[in-house]
Structure 1
């Protein structure tokens, strides 16, 4: 049985005090790399709690990453399901 190691790197940036952006990059060995992005925006009347913006932006980036990885797998299946 072979064990594989994939890594997800998450980068968070705050554009101003109301917008947080996150990028989740999956490194899956070889040249396979999939990136998801997420954004969180704070309503200016809400209290500034940066951790909440980080959590929302990262969760959205990971969700986007999951959808993109699923699309890659679906594409691979479609290519392999055709005539040999």
Structure 2
């Protein structure tokens, strides 16, 4: 029998001139929340494409969340086993 688990992820964007910022938050099944921010800057001579700035800023915020999730998981492994675990890198 399998168990269905879900996480709630939110991304919000704001634009300020040539700068786009993204705020990301994931709510985990254990009740904890992780938050991150990402930014993108548009060169003044580039055409205004809000979607592209959102994609870059959002991706950077999600990369930070990913790193935080890995760190959290390894801390929990270390606490449960009493040994130091090593995240896989690529």
TM-score computed with the length of structure 1 as normaliser? 0.87
User: 1:43 deviation in Å?
Assistant: 1.0
1:2-81 equivalences under 5 Å are 2-14=3-15, 16-81=16-81
TM-score computed with the length of structure 2 as normaliser? 0.82
The ranges of structure 1 where at least 4 consecutive aligned residues each deviate by more than 4 angstroms after the TM superposition are: none
Q: CA RMSD in A?
A: 1.4
Which structure would you say has the larger RCO, counting Cα contacts within 8 Å and 6 or more residues apart?
A: 1
Single out whichever of 29-38 and 72-81 deviates more from structure 2: 29-38
User: 1:46 deviation in Å?
Assistant: 1.2
Q: Count residues with an aligned counterpart.
A: 82
Name structure 2 gaps, 5 residues minimum.
84-90
Aligned to 2:87: none
